[in-house]
Amino acid sequence: MNVRRMKNGNKTLHFKRRSEQSSADDIHRPMPTVEISLEESGAEIPVLHRSYLEVFGSKKKNRVIELGETEILIGRNPDCGLQLLRNTVSRKHARVFFRNEEYHIEDLGSMNGTFVNGVRIERSVLRNKDQIRICGVKILFNEEHSLIET
Amino acid sequence: MKPVNNGSKVLVTFWGTRGSISTPGRITEKYGGNTSCVTIRHRDVFLILDAGTGIRNLGIELAEEFSEQRLPRALHLFLSHTHWDHIQGLPFFEPAYNKTTKMTIYGSPRKGRFLGSILKGQMDSEYFPVGMSAFSAGITIKEISAEAIELGALTIDWQEQFHHPGGSVRYRIRVDGKRIVYATDVELDRIFRGNTRSKEDKAMGRAYLDFVEQADLLIGDGQYTGAEYGTKQGWGHSSVDVLLEACYRGRVKQLAVFHHDPQHSDKFLDNLSAKNRSRYHSDYEGMNIFWAREGLTLAI
C-alpha cells in the first residue's frame, strides 16, 4: 500500500474545516464551516494509492499481492514474489515493476508468453483492470486511488 | 516506459496511438492520448515511425539510454506524411538536441515542397520559440526513392497512399522472414467499398492487399466506427469494419488498430475491441486483433 502526496489534482477540491470562531459551547450546534480551496492554498493533498494483483486460483480461492515500489517476480521458482506452480510457467517468467509513477509488466523470455488483455507482450504499462494471463492463470491488475480523510 | 533492447528480437513499441490531436486526460489514459509514434528495434537498428507527440516520451527515454552509453545513437525516422499529428512532437524530441545523435528523416518525394522545408516551417518563430537550426544532432533529410532501403538486416519498402488529403506513405519492414506493415492515414473505405469505385481504386485495393499480405503485424488506420464513417467521408481515415475486412482478405496475422479518434474514450475503445476482436477468429485462426495502446511493446 502506498501513500503519496499529490499536489493539486485535476479537480478543484474543497475541504471543510471547523471555524476558528467556534467555541466549546457550540459543539451541539450545526458546525460552521469555512471553505478552503486547496488550489488556492497550494497545499498538498494526501492521496492513498493501492495497487495489487489479484490472482484467480482454482476453487474460487483468489490471492492478492500488494504492489509497492519493489519489483515482483512471477514464476515457478520459490523465490518469486508471485509463485505459479504450473509446469508450463517458466522459472522466472515475468516481472512487475514500478517506474515513473506507473506499473509495468515485462516478460522475461518465457517459453509460453505473457499476455495482457489477450495480446502477447514483451513489455506493457499496466492500467486499472488489465487482465494478465500466464499459462492459463488469470491475474487482474487493480489500482485504487482515494483521498485520505483527515 | 523504457525502450526495450532484447537481442535479435524485433521489438515494436507504441509511444503514441491517437489520431488528429493529442487527448490527455483520465478517460484516455489506457490507450493513450499522444499522437502517432511507433518504434521498431532490431539489434542496433532503430526505426521511428512518425513523430507525433508520442515521440517526446521516447526522446526522454532515449536520452537516458544515451547517457548510460548504451547504443544506438543512429536513428531512422520514417514519416508517413507531414500532418501535425505526425510531426508535431519533433521539436520536443530530446535526442535531436544532442550532438552525438545521428538521425535520418525519410518522407515522401511527392510533397510539393521539399520535406526539409516543411519540417523547418513548423519550427518557424511564428509557431515555435526555437528554430530547427537549434537541432545539434547530425540530421539528414531524405525523400525516399523507388528503391527499398536496407538498414542492417531490415529491408524497408513503401507505397504511396492516395486516399488521404495530401497523400501519405505506408511502410513495410521485413526482417528474418517477418513482416511489419505501418499503414496509417488512409481511407480504405474508398478503395474497398462503395459503388463509385474507379478502376484506379480497385487497383489500389489490390496493391494494398499485396503489400499487407500475411503481415506478422499490421498497424492500420481504424479511426472510425462504420456508423461514424458516414459523416466523415473524404477525411482520409478508415472505418474499423473495412480495415478488419481488408486485413482478413490479406491474411494478416496480427492487427493493431491505430490512430484512435480523439472522441473515443478508453471505455468506448474497450467496447469496440470486445465487439470486434473475435469477429474473424473462427474463420482465420491466425488473425489476432487488438487496439494499440501507448506503452505496449511486442516481440514479433
Provide the pLDDT confidence category of residue A140 given band limits of 50, 70 and 90: very high
* Percent of chain A topping pLDDT 90: 58
Query: How high is the pLDDT of residue B278?
Result: 81
Residue B50: count of CB within 10 angstroms of its CB: 29
List pLDDT tens digits, range B205-262: 999 999 999 999 999 999 999 999 999 999 999 999 999 999 999 999 999 999 999 9
User: With DSSP H G I counted as helix, E B as strand and the rest as coil, what are the percentages for chain A, rounded to 5?
Assistant: 10, 50, 40
Per-residue pLDDT of B18-56, as tens digits, reads 999 999 999 999 999 999 999 999 998 999 999 999 999
Which of A107, A118, A127 faces B29 most closely, judged by CB atoms?
A127
pLDDT digits (tens, 9 = 90+) for B128-160: 999 999 999 999 999 888 789 999 999 999 999
pLDDT for A27 beyond 50:
no
H-only helix segments in chain B: 55-67, 84-87, 115-121, 188-192, 199-212, 226-229, 240-249, 266-276
Strands B102-107 and B296-299: unpaired
pLDDT at residue B7 in the model: 59
Q: Say what the pLDDT of residue A35 is.
A: 53
Phi, psi of A119 (to 5 degrees): -110, 130
B4: chain A residues, CB-CB within 8 Å: 106, 122-123
CB contact under 8 A, A99 and B2: yes
**pLDDT number for residue A148:** 64
CA-to-CA distance for B161 and B261, rounded, in angstroms?
20
A7 touches chain B (CB under 8 A): no
Residue with the three cell numbers 515500489: A69
Q: What is the pLDDT confidence band of residue B65, given thresholds at 50, 70 and 90?
A: confident
Torsion on CA atoms B256, B261, B267, B272, rounded to nearest 10? -50
Q: Inter-chain contact B30–A127, Cβ cutoff 8 Å?
A: yes
Cβ–Cβ < 8 Å for B12, B217 = yes
Rounded Cα gap, residues B5 and B248, in angstroms: 31
Burial of B262 (0-12, 13-18, 19+ CB in 10 A): middle
A129 contacts A140 by C-beta, under 8 angstroms:
yes
> CB contact, 8 Å: B5 with chain A?
no
- Considering chain A, what percentage of its residues have pLDDT values greater than 70? 65
Give the max Cα distance, chain A. Answer: 72
Per-residue pLDDT reduced to its tens digit, B94-114: 999 998 899 999 999 876 567
The pLDDT assigned to B71 comes to: 53
Query: Contact at 8 Å (CB) between A73 and A81?
Result: yes
pLDDT for position B147? 82
Q: What is the ipTM of this complex?
A: 0.89
Q: Are B212 and B181 in contact (CB under 8 A)?
A: yes
The torsion angles phi and psi of B87, rounded to 5 degrees, stand at -130, -10
User: CA dihedral defined by A110, A134, B293, B63, rounded to 10 degrees?
Assistant: -40
Residue B218 CB neighbours (<10 A) = 29
Q: Looking at per-residue confidence, does A2 or B300 come out higher?
A: B300
Helix axes B266-276 and B240-249, enclosed angle (nearest 10): 40
Please confirm whether the linkage preceding A46 is cis (ω < 30° from 0). no
How far is the alpha carbon of B224 from chain A, nearest alpha carbon, in Å? 22
DSSP letter, residue B109: T
Higher pLDDT, B69 or B23: B23
Residue of A51 and B63 predicted with greater confidence: A51
Residue A69 vs residue A34, higher pLDDT = A69
For the entire predicted model, the pTM comes to 0.87
pLDDT value at residue B285: 60
Name the average pLDDT for chain B.
Answer: 92
A44, A7 Cβ separation under 8 angstroms: yes
